[in-house]
Each structure stands twice: as C-alpha cells, then as structure tokens.
Amino acid sequence: MHSKKAIIIGSGVAGLAVAIRLSVQGYTVTVYEKNAEPGGKLSIYKKDGYSFDTGPSLFTDPDELKDLFDFAGEDIEAYISYRQLASSCKYFFVNGKTFNTWIDKEKLAQESAEKIGEPAQNILQYLQKSAQLYENIGTVFLNNSLQKKSTWKKKAFIKAFTSVRPGLLFSTLNQYHESAFTTGEAIQVFNRFATYNGSNPYMCPSMLSIIPHVELNKGAFYPKGGMISITDALYKLAIKKGVQFVFSAPVQRIICVNNNAKGIVLNNKNIFSHIVISNVDTWFTYKNLLLDNRKAQHIEKKEKSSSAIVFLWGIKKQFPQMHLHNIFFSGDYKAEFKTIFQLKSVYKDPTIYVNITSKMEDAHAPHGKENWFVMINVPADSGQDWTKMAAFLKQQVLKKLRGMLKEDIEPLIETEKIIMPPEIAANTSAKNGALYGISSNTKRNAFLRHPNFSKEINGLYFCGGTVHPGGGIPLCLKSAKIVGEMVKSEN
Ligand SMILES: Cc1cc2nc3c(=O)[nH]c(=O)nc-3n(C[C@H](O)[C@H](O)[C@H](O)COP(=O)(O)OP(=O)(O)OC[C@H]3O[C@@H](n4cnc5c(N)ncnc54)[C@H](O)[C@@H]3O)c2cc1C
C-alpha cells in the first residue's frame, strides 16, 4: 500500500521539523519552499570574508532539538554540536555599569550584588519562581494545543490551569519586576525578556516571566558553525529521512474540496496530497493561499509583534570588552517601548543588541576583525519610510556606541548590509515584517495564538512562529511536535 502524502509549505525551522516528524510517522513528505534554500528566518549572509547570521542569534532549549533527533532515531551529535555559554549576555547601562548574566547561579548572584547592587537573593528567588511557573504551567500550555477539547480534559492541564495565580494574569511583566527587584538595572534586564516574543514589558502579562527560566536556568548555547548549523542539521536529517524538497517554489493556493485540504497549486498546476501543513505566516496563508479575506482581516486587526532593523557590519578591529551577546541599554526603556508600540516609530536612544559570532569562531571574520550583527527593535511595518528611519537609527547607534565604548565605530565599518522590516516580510512572507506574528501584549493574544490546525478545513495544519505556542526556535520546534502528534491521532 502507498503511504499517505503530506505537503509542507515553507522550510522554516518548524517546516523542517514537521517534515521530519511526518516522514518518520510513515508519510511521503514533500516540502515546497519559495526561496532557493531552506531555513526561512534562520539564514546566513556572507560578504568580504565575513559571515553573518541574518535572523535568530540566541540558541536556547537544545533539548527540543535533541527530542526531534531522538524521535527520528538519530544521534544528534552526528549532525550538530553545541556548547553552553558561561554568560548568556553582557549588559551595558547608560550609567556606565555592566552586568553579565552568568549561568552559574553563585556567580550570577555575586555579579548582581557587586555590579548593579541588586540583592543576590532577589535574583535567585525570581529564577526559582520562574522555574516553578515553567514546570507547573508552562510545560503543559506550551506542549499541547489549547484549542483541542482533549487537552482540556487532561489532568495535568486542569491542575496547571487551576494553579495560575490571578496576580500573574492581571499584572504586567514590568509591574511584576518592580515588585521583585529593587534596582532599575535588574528591572531593565528582566523586562527585556518581553522582546523575546516581540512584546512590550509595560503591557504584556507577567506570566511571560517564564521566559528567563529558559535562558538563565536551562542555559544559553552556541551551535558550532553558527545558527545556520541548526538549519543545516535539520535539512540533513530531513533528507536522510526521505523528505523531498522543491526550492524556488512559491505555492499559489491550498486546494480545498468540501472543506478538506487536498493539496496545493504550484506553477498553475495542482499537486495533490492527503494533508497540508502551512509553515507560512497565518495572515499570508489565509489571504493568499486560501483567499479567505475574512480570516485574514481578523488577524490583521491584532497588534503585531515588533520587527527589527539589523545592521550587519564587518568591523576592522576587535573589542575585548564585548562578548558573544551584548546589550547597550536605552536610558529610558519605557519611552522606547512607547515609541515602538504606540507611536510606531524608532526611538532616538535605542537599546542596541550586538551579536559577534567571531568571538566563538575565527572563520566568521578576517583575522583581527569582528562580524557585528547589530539589531534594534522597531515597530512592524505600517508604511513608515524605512530608508529614512534606518539612516536616522544608524547615526543614533553610532553616537550611542561612541559614548558607551569610547570609540568611534563608523571608520571601522568596512562592509555593511542593512535588513529592514519590508525585507524580512519579503524574504519569509512575515506580515508587516513582524518577527513573531502577533504581539503578546494582551492576555488573549499571549495565550490564545492561532491553533495548530484549521477549525474549518480538515487536513490543514499550521506550524511556526505565528501559531501556538509562539515564535523563537524552541517554540517553533514545539509547534511541529504538536502537529505531528495531532496528525497521528487524527489520520
Ligand atoms: C532578526 C531576527 C532575530 C531573531 N532572533 C531570534 C533569536 O535570537 N532566537 C530565537 O529563538 N528566535 C529569534 N527570531 C525568531 C525566529 O527566527 C523565528 O521565530 C523562527 O525562525 C521562525 O520559523 P518558522 O518555522 O515560523 O518559519 P520562517 O522562518 O518564518 O519561514 C517560513 C518559510 O516559508 C517560506 N514561504 C513563505 N511563503 C511561501 C510560499 N507561498 N510558498 C512556499 N514557501 C513559502 C518562506 O520563504 C520561509 O522559508 C528572530 C527572527 C528575526 C527575523
């Protein structure tokens, strides 16, 4: 008997992961990808001897990746190696203080007390609560589809749901941090975790305090070869498991007959399958692949997550005071978020993230030089003049770094590429270039993301950063697992 056919649209991290899962489950799987290579946001750019990751730069929760390789019966070490970082990030404050988020708790506690004056026990207690929240509630919410009745009947789910403290639902992340910490520096460091899903700490629910657990308790990691190694490893595993790939293949439609997904249209030709999984932004899927304007408009009305302007700079000097991950904080974080989410503009004193993988691998920059991935959070695209905004931001970034590093960076830039929200949108079909789909600034948006299946169309499933449980590599991998299990139980 022939095995059932599955079509995956898109080869982002979740598309690759679900392709592997379904292939292992016995499906004949074909992935159709509009770009010439796999990876989606998880891609690479090379120029003048420099190599830059263009999307994600922080790798957390490698157990999710390992789980996928275990599921496929393969030894992950044959595909990718990664190591834990001693410190996940070095923070630079406008008052000249610095703070390393060491993964070693004793070191972190000592650093906290000595460098920013935050009592060690506050940090340790916070991280303990974050771990409890993740274990008691997070694991159940993040690993199951919230829109399936079967989930709500699970004992663990009922237990988790009833254990949610109302305070965590009704206070914002910033309010929670103001009660947990005594110093502005600690509040700012922990507020920043809201940006991990493109949200505003002054609006999003304090339940998002589970995010620091993933980085600071479970650890931050660096994959050998850079983030692109994750795409490469998933692609290699998919090939090994028999997944077929068709690149430069922009899918035009999803074929639906009597509310059943029956395949796709590519190059004006029908290609049939038993199930279809969209790894593409949900708005794009409804608007362009299903021609469902009503659903597309419903998504369009929701507030988008933030986007980014990224400067890829080849720097002809090395900066020993900087690490792999560095943050140069804004002097007024609240005003920065107000500018991004309410004024939908770029802030004059932006928080600057600088990722330098040549700190880990000599091959990523010419000898004696560094590859700087400089990222600024900006609003999703709503028609702003991005060329003008990028030029303004570049000047502000250079001015700020000159002040904080005591060095003029501009003459050191020997190669440059600028990535703006419209480019992120065009490359990956992300609506408005939003990095994580809709923001988690409201409780509803934070907890009820788009389901992993279609309620109207049988045999149509969704995975990736715009659906449950959320954006970022670990959650995208979880969405693929949820879809794999759903397909198994339903077909
Ligand atoms: C600048 C930036 C920084 C980030 N930083 C981090 C970080 O540090 N850590 C982290 O964990 N996450 C980070 N993220 C988020 C993370 O990259 C995403 O959540 C994740 O990679 C999204 O994966 P996905 O599976 O949703 O697919 P995507 O990467 O969104 O890929 C979707 C794929 O679908 C394809 N496609 C679109 N339309 C079609 C069509 N019609 N036909 C066929 N194929 C189509 C696209 O070409 C693309 O390859 C960052 C993202 C960006 C952009």
Plot region of 39 (φ>0 → left; ψ -120 to 50 → alpha; else → beta): left
| Ligand 1 mean position, distance from CA 219 (Å) | 22
Hey, where are the domains in the chain? 1-42+221-303+441-491, 103-218, 307-428
Q: How many CB atoms lie within 10 A of CB 288?
A: 18
**C-alpha to C-alpha distance for 401 and 321, rounded to whole angstroms:** 13
Ligand 1 pocket test, candidate residues 64, 355, 428, most atoms within 8 A of CB? 428
SS3 state of residue 330 = coil
State the pLDDT at residue 443.
74
Q: How many CB atoms lie within 10 A of CB 250?
A: 13
Weakly modelled stretches of the chain, pLDDT under 70: 1-2, 151-152, 154, 156-169, 446
Q: Which residue has the tokens 């059932």?
A: 4
Q: Which two tokens stand for residue 371?
A: 């590859």
| Ligand 1 mean position, distance from CA 237 (Å) | 19
Q: Which residue has the tokens 């059943």?
A: 260
**C-alpha to C-alpha distance for 81 and 98, rounded to whole angstroms:** 30
Q: Is the CB of 473 under 6 A from ligand 1?
A: yes
| Ligand 1 mean position, distance from CA 465 (Å) | 7
Q: Is the CB of 214 under 6 A from ligand 1?
A: no
Long-range pairs for 289-293: beta carbons < 8 A, 24 or more residues apart: 289/9, 289/251, 289/252, 289/253, 289/254, 289/264, 290/253, 290/254, 290/256, 290/457, 291/253
State the pLDDT at residue 160.
66
Ligand 1, closest atom to CA 465? Answer: 26
State the pLDDT at residue 445.
74
Ligand 1, closest atom to CA 436? Answer: 19
Q: Is the CB of 465 under 6 A from ligand 1?
A: yes
| Ligand 1 mean position, distance from CA 178 (Å) | 33
The protein residue whose alpha carbon is closest to atom 15 in ligand 1 is: 472
Kindly tell me the burial class for residue 104, based on how many C-beta atoms sit within 10 Å of its own C-beta (0-12, 13-18, 19 or more): exposed
State the pLDDT at residue 166.
64
Q: Is the CB of 18 under 6 A from ligand 1?
A: no
Ligand 1, closest atom to CA 424? Answer: 53
State the pLDDT at residue 350.
98
- Give the phi and the psi of residue 323 in degrees, each rounded to 5: -115, -160
pTM of the model: 0.95
Q: Is the CB of 53 under 6 A from ligand 1?
A: no
**C-alpha to C-alpha distance for 462 and 218, rounded to whole angstroms:** 28
Q: Residue 291 gets which letter from DSSP? A: -
Ligand 1, closest atom to CA 430? Answer: 30
| Ligand 1 mean position, distance from CA 227 (Å) | 13
State the pLDDT at residue 417.
98
Q: Is the CB of 10 under 6 A from ligand 1?
A: yes
Ligand 1 pocket test, candidate residues 254, 280, 483, most atoms within 8 A of CB? 280
**Separation in Å, CA 197 to CA 185, 204, 286, 372:** 21, 10, 22, 22
Q: How many CB atoms lie within 10 A of CB 259?
A: 11
Q: Is the CB of 228 under 6 A from ligand 1?
A: no
Q: Is the CB of 14 under 6 A from ligand 1?
A: yes
Q: Which residue has the tokens 């000097």?
A: 317
| Sheet (strand 28-32) strand order | 244-246, 28-32, 5-9, 275-278, 460-462
Answer yes or no: CATH 3.50.50.60 is held by domain 1-42+221-303+441-491.
yes
State the pLDDT at residue 161.
65
Q: Which two tokens stand for residue 28?
A: 């004949």
State the pLDDT at residue 184.
97
| Sheet (strand 87-92) strand order | 98-102, 87-92, 325-328, 352-356, 370-378, 307-315, 413-419
Q: Is the CB of 278 under 6 A from ligand 1?
A: no
